[in-house]
Structure 1
């Protein structure tokens, strides 16, 4: 099987074969709970017309081959070989006349964190509220319905927001890293806003360092050139395969003193998990 034929296989059909169920659907799109993380609100969209996927939480998308290589962690040869074994229907999506797209979301208000529910959420994660107030906001937003939602917003470098509350994990706008500079020769890097704020909470201060929050390990490769000019780079990524790959990539490209600090919380999933257990202990 070649790439052209493989990408004619319906992504929706492939996901169903993998045991995933459609959470909601309209004429153009099918929505699933993301296969890359646990969530209760579907943020993984398949455009049935173009046969393309997009995961709003991870900020990644592409065709079927792209998805299978990421999801299965296979190389291209194995992906094509395995797809050729399946009795998939070659759903050749015929382009339809494009309809005018409505905005996927509308941000209604951005303000300081004041919601008791969001404050309680931060407390549950043992994150210092003062630090959260400095780097996060309370974002009120709408999707296609009239209902307004709100969550903690962590702004990225292109104006998008990482959105979190007890029930939702996603991104409004374009996915990107978040860079915070203090004219330092040391750069500390984190996977997520919660790990970054956990670091500040553990330190009980904002160290004189520059910070980059990936917001997704898929963006680690975008940060390689940003390492230039630093005397020291410290990484605080998750103790999983994605965290390992991101660490290895940046370490291999770094020309300065590089410190992988996962050893300090090697028994825990990530820095926030370490902070939570430290509080309980």
Structure 2
């Protein structure tokens, strides 16, 4: 729904005031506060605009992500809460910030990789309405250490052997950022931005698992490195996100590949009106 973008763009400082969370301004429009989801003496969470970053567990996101974390609730319940409280918020779009200064090099170690079975991670995947049997075919459990602290999450392996890691609170990459090519020697390939969209696609349309190949970028920036894969196929299907970045990338790809390919299509109509396919799946599965 279109109001989702408005909800995720509510300035974080308005959310903190609503929740009576004391914030300390360190620099202009940058605030620090103590995480309510753990005991701590020093503020370790930073927010700016509509974004937050938790230095305690290296997670972050937008306003909706924060409400999910603060109340330990799923996406749908977070949206309900924000909609209910929306009259007290300003919807002026905040300045966009990449938090690039937070992406400093960290010391990490992968301790163990095993079959997906942890009920905490499975519960997390269930909140995203993903078919668990499909998840077990493509995802693993990764136990890892970052700066001497132990963590675990769902892992999606790239073609470089690195892992995209997700859990209820964290979103990060362990190792080199790269794409994941699922090559079943079919004649057409579907290009997606994230593994959650890939598994959402197989949840909604299970038959396409055998009829199509897949390129999961894991980051839109990987699109510039994917020519070696896309050159293999006569048919290209682009299922990138519905935001401005995804729309611009799709338009460029259509212009570039239509000249030399027999079939190049934009199939984002599969989630028309939503940010991406996983968001569509979550709303399709749960009526608000």
In the superposition, the TM-score normalised over structure 2's length comes to 0.64
Q: 1:273 to 1:32 in 2, by over 3 A?
A: same
Distance, in Å, in 2 between the alignment partners of 1:164 and 1:269 is 19
Q: Does 1:195 align with 2:197?
A: yes
Q: Counterparts of 1:121 and 1:212 in 2: how far apart (Å)? A: 24
Residues 1:265 and 2:256 aligned together:
no
Q: Is the 8 A contact 2:29 2:49 kept in 1?
A: no
Which sits farther off after the overlay, 153-162 or 242-251? 242-251
> Is residue 32–residue 43 contact of structure 1 (8 Å, CA) maintained in 2?
no
Deviation at 1:228, TM superposition (A): 1.5
Alpha-carbon contact 1:160-1:175 (below 8 Å) kept: yes
Q: Distance in 1 between matches of 2:276 and 2:97?
A: 23
CA distance in 2, matches of 1:22, 1:230: 49
What CA distance in whole angstroms lies between the structure 2 residues aligned with 1:108 and 1:22? 32
Deviations 1:209-233 (A, max 9, x none): 1110010111111113422131211
Structure 1 portions without partners, runs of 5+: 1-15, 24-30, 45-70, 74-101
- The 5 A counterparts of 1:144-159 are 144-145=147-148, 147-159=149-161
Per-residue deviation at 1:38?
Answer: 5.7
- Are the equivalent residues in 1 in contact too, given 2:59–2:169 (CA < 8 A)? no
Name segments (4+ residues, structure 1) moved above 3 Å: 20-23, 31-44
> Which runs of no fewer than 5 residues in structure 2 stay unpaired?
1-25, 34-44, 61-95, 99-104
Q: Which structure has the larger Rg?
A: 1
Answer yes or no: is 1:20 the counterpart of 2:30: yes
- Change over 3 Å in CA distance of 1:37–1:153 after alignment to 2: farther
CA apart distance, 1:33:
6.9
Q: How many residues are matched?
A: 206
Residue in 2 that maps onto 1:80: none
> Residue 254 of structure 2: which of 251, 254, 262 is its match?
251
Q: Does 1:229 align with 2:227?
A: no
Task: Report the counterpart of residue 3 of structure 1 in structure 2.
Answer: none
CA shift for structure 1 position 250: 1.9
Contact kept? 1:122, 1:129, Cα under 8 Å: yes
In the TM superposition, residue 157 of structure 1 has moved relative to its aligned partner by 1.0
